[in-house]
């Protein structure tokens, strides 16, 4: 009995530690990310499973740096850039981030609407998109921050459905193990394109801004003047590591699902999440289909507040507006108006002829261009003792950070080469 109590106590303490890192990791597996992973699995089977293993330490290292910047400086990434770098650098990031995030929001809303239509065919997808957008806007504006944080945290449980789906289909476990630990690369346009897509989806600039800003939000909400110490940094690292490993695990299982069920059945072209869900229905059964579809809606409810919130933090910190999800609408009107505009613009993409697939391509290009520059700046800030004091990067953080920089730079160059 005592052992059970101690175990329950440890789990409760660990759950309390989890917060921004878990939500950030879960939002990384948004509907547009699911579409990318589904396409990778359908087109190349299990050949890209190893990317989940490689992506985890790179994602975790960058997100830890962003979180540490927020905790130490008490400013979001944009605020830190504003204080320590020339204004043109800040405005350049704003210029690239805005359209990329709007396209990402539009693709996610479209994906949620399409999957809603699959679950309830009598209702048009556009109605679902409008309802989801209005519901998200109302929740973000009217719920206090702690409710939003708690809701997002528990919504992460929805992602667990993807860990169930592969086991509803017969698996070759030896092949799964070899594909996970032995990288396989095909030197052709299609395979390199999907690798670039996976990188752009997993190491996304909007997550950098969100992570730093939401750490400040957490500190502000506690209303206690925290003295930054090793325990606070360690708790943050546990949170981020768990969130990123959770994200990588979901990514792994989505590729595993589509790489076995769809690829082995001769379905090699999946462009949208609803196609992936629909294709699973006759091959793996109704349960797999329903779980996959419900997971898409759950991830959309996590990711879209993160996307719109990160954009609003960028604008608010750039122009010195009152900001924060803990503020009421009348206390931070501009902050919430940016969130509303981003959701409405994202929804409007459904009506002006930009397909979600094209939106994903444009988003990946903009992320691919922006990410290397941002990673370089994050590395510079994280190693600057004037800004970070004793909490500068460790050697392992720098190794992983510079590896991410090199890989994302190569990805950006590959994007240019493949597109033009």
What span, in angstroms and rounded, lies between the C-alpha atoms of 324 and 315?
12
Between these two residues, 192 and 354, which has the higher pLDDT value?
A: 192
Provide mean pLDDT across the span 264-287.
Answer: 76
Position 233 scores a pLDDT of: 80
Burial 145-180 (b: 16+ CB within 10 A, else e): beebbeebbebbebbebbbebbebbeeeeeebeebb
Phi-psi region of 223 (alpha: psi -120 to 50; beta: other; left: phi over 0): left
Question: What pTM does this model have?
Answer: 0.83
Q: Using CB atoms within 10 Å of the CB of residue 58, give its burial: 0 to 12 exposed, 13 to 18 middle, 19+ buried.
A: buried
Percent of the chain topping pLDDT 90: 16
**Long-range contacts of residues 327-335, Cβ cutoff 8 Å, at least 24 apart:** 329/141, 329/142
Position 203 scores a pLDDT of: 85
Between these two residues, 338 and 357, which has the higher pLDDT value?
A: 338
Q: Using CB atoms within 10 Å of the CB of residue 356, give its burial: 0 to 12 exposed, 13 to 18 middle, 19+ buried.
A: buried
Q: How confident is the model at residue 350 (pLDDT cuts 50, 70, 90)?
A: confident
C-alpha 382, offset from chain centre? 22
Q: Is 45 helix (H, G, I), strand (E, B) or coil?
A: coil
Provide mean pLDDT across the span 342-358.
Answer: 80
Position 210 scores a pLDDT of: 84
Cα distances (angstroms) measured from residue 106 to each of 178, 270, 346 = 37, 19, 4
CA atoms in the 13 A half-sphere facing the CB of 81: 30
Q: Do 278 and 121 touch, CB atoms closer than 8 A?
A: no
What span, in angstroms and rounded, lies between the C-alpha atoms of 147 and 420?
46
With a cut of 70, say whether residue 4 has pLDDT above it: no
Q: How confident is the model at residue 397 (pLDDT cuts 50, 70, 90)?
A: very high
With a cut of 80, say whether residue 411 has pLDDT above it: no
Of 71-85, 124-138, 188-202, 372-386, least confident by mean pLDDT is 188-202
Residue with tokens 């910190």: 317
What span, in angstroms and rounded, lies between the C-alpha atoms of 47 and 198?
13
Structure tokens given for 31: 């509907």
Q: How confident is the model at residue 95 (pLDDT cuts 50, 70, 90)?
A: confident
Position 212 scores a pLDDT of: 86
What span, in angstroms and rounded, lies between the C-alpha atoms of 63 and 247?
12
With a cut of 60, say whether residue 55 has pLDDT above it: yes
List pLDDT tens digits, range 129-142. 999 999 999 988 88
Q: How confident is the model at residue 14 (pLDDT cuts 50, 70, 90)?
A: low
CA atoms in the 13 A half-sphere facing the CB of 131: 12
Residue 234 CB neighbours (<10 A): 11
Structure tokens given for 259: 């790489």
Position 152 scores a pLDDT of: 65
Position 159 scores a pLDDT of: 62
Q: Do 273 and 258 touch, CB atoms closer than 8 A?
A: no
With a cut of 70, say whether residue 370 has pLDDT above it: yes
What span, in angstroms and rounded, lies between the C-alpha atoms of 276 and 292?
8
Domain 2-419 matching CATH 3.40.50.10860: the answer reads no
Residue with tokens 């609407």: 113
With a cut of 70, say whether residue 2 has pLDDT above it: no
With a cut of 80, say whether residue 230 has pLDDT above it: no
List pLDDT tens digits, range 160-218. 667 776 777 777 788 888 989 988 888 777 888 788 888 888 888 888 888 888 888 77
Residue 225: what are its φ and ψ, rounded to 5°? -75, 95
Structure tokens given for 344: 């409405």
With a cut of 90, say whether residue 402 has pLDDT above it: yes
Provide mean pLDDT across the span 148-160.
Answer: 65
Helix H or strand E segment including 303: helix 286-319
Q: Using CB atoms within 10 Å of the CB of residue 62, give its burial: 0 to 12 exposed, 13 to 18 middle, 19+ buried.
A: buried
Position 278 scores a pLDDT of: 77
With a cut of 60, say whether residue 8 has pLDDT above it: no
With a cut of 90, say whether residue 398 has pLDDT above it: yes
With a cut of 70, say whether residue 19 has pLDDT above it: no
DSSP annotation of 224: S
Contacts of 93 (CB under 8 A, 6+ apart): 78, 81, 205, 314, 370, 373, 374
Average pLDDT over the chain, rounded to an integer: 81
Burial 268-300 (b: 16+ CB within 10 A, else e): eebebbbbbbbbbbeebeeebbbbbbebbbbbb
Provide mean pLDDT across the span 149-157.
Answer: 65
Q: Do 59 and 202 touch, CB atoms closer than 8 A?
A: yes
Structure tokens given for 160: 């667990």
With a cut of 80, say whether residue 365 has pLDDT above it: no
């Amino acid at each position: 009995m005592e052992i059970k109590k101690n175990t329950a106590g440890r789990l409760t303490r660990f759950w309390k530690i989890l917060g921004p890192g878990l939500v950030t990791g879960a939002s990384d597996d948004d509907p547009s990310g699911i579409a990318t992973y589904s396409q990778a699995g359908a087109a190349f089977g299990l050949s890209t499973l190893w990317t989940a293993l490689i992506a985890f330490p790179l994602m975790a290292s960058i997100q830890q740096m962003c979180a540490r910047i927020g905790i130490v400086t008490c400013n979001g990434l944009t605020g830190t850039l504003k204080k320590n770098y020339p204004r043109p650098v800040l405005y350049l990031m704003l210029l690239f981030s805005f359209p990329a995030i709007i396209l990402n929001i539009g693709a996610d809303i479209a994906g949620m609407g399409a999957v809603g239509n699959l679950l309830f065919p009598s209702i048009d997808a556009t109605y679902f998109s409008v309802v989801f957008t209005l519901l998200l806007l109302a929740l973000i504006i009217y719920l206090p921050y702690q409710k939003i944080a708690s809701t997002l945290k528990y919504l992460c449980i929805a992602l667990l459905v993807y860990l169930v789906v592969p086991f509803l289909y017969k698996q070759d476990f030896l092949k799964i193990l070899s594909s996970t630990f032995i990288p396989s690369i095909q030197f052709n346009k299609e395979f390199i394109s999907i690798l670039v897509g996976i990188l752009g989806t997993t190491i996304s600039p909007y997550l950098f801004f969100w992570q730093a800003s939401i750490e400040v939000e957490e500190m502000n909400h506690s209303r206690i003047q925290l003295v930054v110490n090793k325990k606070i940094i360690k708790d943050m690292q546990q949170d981020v590591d768990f969130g990123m490993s959770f994200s990588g695990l979901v990514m792994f299982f989505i590729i595993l699902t589509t790489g076995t069920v769809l690829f082995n059945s001769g379905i090699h072209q999946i462009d949208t999440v609803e196609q992936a869900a629909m294709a699973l229905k006759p091959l793996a059964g109704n349960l797999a289909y329903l779980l996959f579809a419900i997971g898409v809606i759950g991830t959309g409810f996590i990711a879209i507040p993160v996307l719109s919130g990160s954009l609003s933090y960028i604008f608010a910190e750039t122009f010195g507006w009152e900001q924060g999800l803990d503020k009421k609408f009348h206390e931070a009107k501009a902050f919430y108006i940016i969130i509303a505009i981003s959701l409405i613009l994202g929804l409007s993409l459904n009506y002006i002829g930009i397909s979600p697939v094209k939106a994903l391509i444009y988003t990946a290009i903009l992320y691919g261009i922006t990410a290397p520059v941002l990673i370089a700046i994050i590395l510079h800030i994280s190693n600057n003792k004037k800004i970070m004091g004793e909490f500068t990067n460790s050697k392992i953080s720098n190794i992983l950070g510079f590896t991410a920089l090199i890989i994302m730079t190569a990805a950006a160059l590959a994007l240019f080469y493949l597109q033009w």
